[in-house]
Amino acid sequence: PELEKDIIVPDYCSLSLADAKSTGEVAVNFWFGPPGTVSPLHHDPKNNLLAQVTGSKLIKLASPQQNENVYPNPGMMSNTSQVDVENEENVDLEKYPKFKDAKLEQVVLNPGEMLYIPANHWHFVKSLDTSISLSFWW
């Protein structure tokens, strides 16, 4: 709570508050972790502006058109992938044959940079260093 006054929600988040899915509020999330911290491939129902404060993160992205190729889990966890994309060359293509057709983009997010991740777009995140990030969801 003491740091909250130091966080300014980027104006960009307000530009699309008319989005049909928007509640008009921006949720701010603080992420802190050591090197190697992983958030497996998943998607979120809200737009996300990910701001890197310190350290760097490797991010792999895929559009919703890749759903079939990334094998969403069934049921309540359908926003997560069954495929471990951290080491794509080791994916079991006998178990996940369509993954060979998956189109993932890769970027390293460095301190002072932000990345817009549209709602329902798949993303995998791995901290390359001790890392602090903020995400703004709307």
CA distance 125 to 112: 17
- Please choose, from the candidates 46, 2, 33, the residue with its C-alpha nearest in 3D space to the C-alpha of residue 133: 33
Residue 20 pLDDT? 47
Residue 22 pLDDT? 57
Residue 23 pLDDT greater than 80, yes or no: no
What region does 11 belong to: left with phi over 0, alpha with psi -120 to 50, or beta? alpha
Cβ atoms < 10 Å from Cβ of 85: 22
CA distance 90 to 94: 11
| Average pLDDT of the residues in 14-33 | 75
pLDDT tens for 93-131 read: 999 999 999 999 999 999 999 999 999 999 999 999 999
pLDDT tens for 57-76 read: 999 999 999 999 999 999 99
Q: Are strands 122-127 and 57-62 parallel, antiparallel or unpaired?
A: antiparallel
Residue 16 pLDDT greater than 90, yes or no: no
The mean pLDDT value of the chain amounts to: 93
pTM score: 0.90
